[in-house]
């Protein structure tokens, strides 16, 4: 294919990409961003990018040796700018974490895992001996009933 025809094809495709970016600017300028529209327009840009890459390759194969460097520099500059714009608009497609109201009771007592009740009981003991004594007695008896094991902390409290 003739080099001037290839360059015209490239110019037309680049103009089409510019139009799509204008539509993207309008889409994100709205108060309510339509992510489906943004996604569709970005897909169109990606398709054009592939078409442009094919045309650029054909141009490099057809251009004279002395013009290759200029052609590569121009093409690389264009793709760098194109990638920057694509990334800019892809940010609008990332899901935004939505806050939901918690169904957990913030006033509920602290959760004590079954396997760590002794450690928790000893922590409680160091904070307040009277509260901890009843806490340890309560959970010590439960643990004793469930496991049949003698609860050291409970036994120590009984002797105090």
Question: Is residue 100 a part of any domain in this protein?
Answer: no
Q: How far apart are CA 127 and CA 83, in angstroms?
A: 60
Helix (H, G, I), strand (E, B) or coil at 100: coil
One domain, residues 152 and 74:
no
The rounded distance, in Å, linking the Cα atoms of 109 and 90 is 44
pLDDT at residue 153 tops 90: no
Same domain membership, residue 76 and residue 13: yes
**Which tokens in the block code for residue 138?**
């309560």
| pLDDT above 50 for 13 | yes
Q: What is the DSSP letter of 97?
A: P
70-97 confidence digits (pLDDT tens) = 999 999 999 999 999 999 999 888 765 4
pLDDT at 136 over 70: no
Residue 43 forms part of a structural domain: yes
Q: Taking residues 91-106, report their average pLDDT.
A: 62
Residues 127 and 84 grouped into a single domain = no
pLDDT for res 43: 95
Span 103-109, mean pLDDT?
A: 69
Structural domain of residue 138, as residue ranges? 114-159
Residue 46: inside a domain: yes
Q: How many domains does the chain have?
A: 2
89 and 19 fall within a common domain:
yes
């Amino acid at each position: 294919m003739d080099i001037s025809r290839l360059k015209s094809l490239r110019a037309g495709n680049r103009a089409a990409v510019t139009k799509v970016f204008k539509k993207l600017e309008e889409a994100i300028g709205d108060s309510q961003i339509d992510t489906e529209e943004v996604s569709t327009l970005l897909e169109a840009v990606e398709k054009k990018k592939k078409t442009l890459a094919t045309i650029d390759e054909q141009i490099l194969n057809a251009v004279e040796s002395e013009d290759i460097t200029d052609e590569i520099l121009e093409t690389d500059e264009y793709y760098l700018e194109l990638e920057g714009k694509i990334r800019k608009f892809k940010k609008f497609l990332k899901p935004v974490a939505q806050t939901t109201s918690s169904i957990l009771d913030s006033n509920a007592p602290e959760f004590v895992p079954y396997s760590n009740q002794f450690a928790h009981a000893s922590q409680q003991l160091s904070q307040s001996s009277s509260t901890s004594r009843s806490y340890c007695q309560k959970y010590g008896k439960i643990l004793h009933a469930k496991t049949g094991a003698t609860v050291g902390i409970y036994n120590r409290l009984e002797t105090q």
